Amino acid sequence: MASEKQPAIILGIDPGTCVTGYGIIRVESSVLRALDYGCIRPPAHLKLSDRYLIIFESIEELLEKYQPSALVVESQYMSNNANVRNVKSTLKLGMACGISILAAKRKKIPVFEYAPAKAKRAVVGNGAASKHQVRGMVQQLLQLPEPPHPEDASDALSLAICHAHACSSNHIEI
Amino acid sequence: MASEKQPAIILGIDPGTCVTGYGIIRVESSVLRALDYGCIRPPAHLKLSDRYLIIFESIEELLEKYQPSALVVESQYMSNNANVRNVKSTLKLGMACGISILAAKRKKIPVFEYAPAKAKRAVVGNGAASKHQVRGMVQQLLQLPEPPHPEDASDALSLAICHAHACSSNHIEI
């Protein structure tokens, strides 16, 4: 994927019911470049099920447009994760994550996951780095004119970068 | 939906990564009849993402075959729910639930949810009923020759029955 010869396109997704961040990078000869990033924000007044459909269809559009070779999500399996506050929000997060994975699998795109600390370590070199530090390093690694905004998009880009770095042995397809 | 004149078909889903129960009932003139029930068991050796794809495609097949007017899932938002043991299993449950909801929404079928106690109350008359009691009453209400097996299918049928009973005011589309 991150070989010296064959360029690869990686889609990172930071799923959420309110905001789903995405970041698409191109890897060629060890050079990383951001193709696109941003977030999917289904209107908050919609029913949860309608919001899931919007997230799913938006990810399908990204897959169609950029034809990535991998989709990468965060493994949020740590009970002390700040995003996992209670059973209700954990279930909702799981739902958003599940439909992101499904969008890729329906197109036969492999799915990978990394723990938040691993993604931070890949980008900043420190698994306990702050969001601010991550944004700064994502900007630097991708040579962006400014730190990626919003935070969810920065997190998604950091997952894609993590996968680009992890191509040797330690990536896990889920 | 459960009016005296128009028959309705309801699909209950009890989602899970290992076993997803389903139950389809037909409601006509207040008479309930089971059209089909059982469970989806993706091979345990498969990656999670492949198992989600199998669950999704199996539910799509059920929707195609029976053309239900509603899909019903359990709202598992109680922290003391026995199925929600930890963050990891909660996330997985959310993923399986999310893709079940998505399968329906992609076909414009409305999705409803009920708390476990509500489904038990609708079937047995007691929100704290045992699984055994639920199976017995599901068998009786649907006039089945024996209690529905496995438990996941019985739970899915009880959700469909709950929705049939709740058609007046207290169903919630999610």
Which chain B residues are closer than 8 Å to A171 by Cβ? Answer: none
Determine whether the interchain pair A79/B86 forms a contact, defined as Cβ–Cβ distance below 8 Å. Answer: yes
d(CA A148, CA B119): 46
> Residues B144, B145, B147, CA angle at the centre, nearest 5°?
70
- In chain B, where the domains are located: 8-169
Q: What is the mean pLDDT of residues B49-69?
A: 96
Q: A61-75, A98-112, B81-95, B117-131: lowest mean pLDDT where?
A: B81-95
Q: Which residues of B are catalytic?
A: 14, 74, 152
Residues A26-43 have pLDDT tens digits of 998 889 999 999 999 999
Closest-CA distance, B53 to chain A, in angstroms, reads: 6
Classify domain A8-169 by CATH number: 3.30.420.10
pLDDT range class, residue A88, cuts 50, 70, 90: confident
Residue to substitute from A87, A88, A89, interface B, most B β-carbons within 10 A: A87
> Residues B127, B133, B138, CA angle at the centre, nearest 5°?
95
Question: Rounded to 5 degrees, what are φ and ψ at B32?
Answer: -100, 140
Determine whether the interchain pair A53/B86 forms a contact, defined as Cβ–Cβ distance below 8 Å. Answer: no
Look at residue B103 and tell me whether its pLDDT is greater than 90: yes
Residues B54-63 have pLDDT tens digits of 999 999 999 9
The residue of chain A nearest to residue B102, with distances taken between CA atoms, is A53
Q: A58-72, A81-95, B49-63: lowest mean pLDDT where?
A: A81-95
Which of the listed ranges A42-56, A67-81, A123-137 does the model predict with the highest average pLDDT?
Answer: A42-56
The residue of chain B nearest to residue A46, with distances taken between CA atoms, is B174
Look at residue B3 and tell me whether its pLDDT is greater than 50: no
Q: What is the DSSP letter of A85?
A: -
The residue of chain A nearest to residue B172, with distances taken between CA atoms, is A47
ipTM of the complex, rounded to two decimals: 0.84
d(CA B72, CA B165): 12
Q: Is A144 helix (H, G, I), strand (E, B) or coil?
A: coil
Q: What is the mean pLDDT of residues A70-93?
A: 71
Model pTM score: 0.87
Residue to substitute from A101, A109, A171, A172, interface B, most B β-carbons within 10 A: A101
Determine whether the interchain pair B78/A87 forms a contact, defined as Cβ–Cβ distance below 8 Å. Answer: yes
Which of the listed ranges A83-92, B60-69, B111-120, B143-152 does the model predict with the highest average pLDDT?
Answer: B60-69
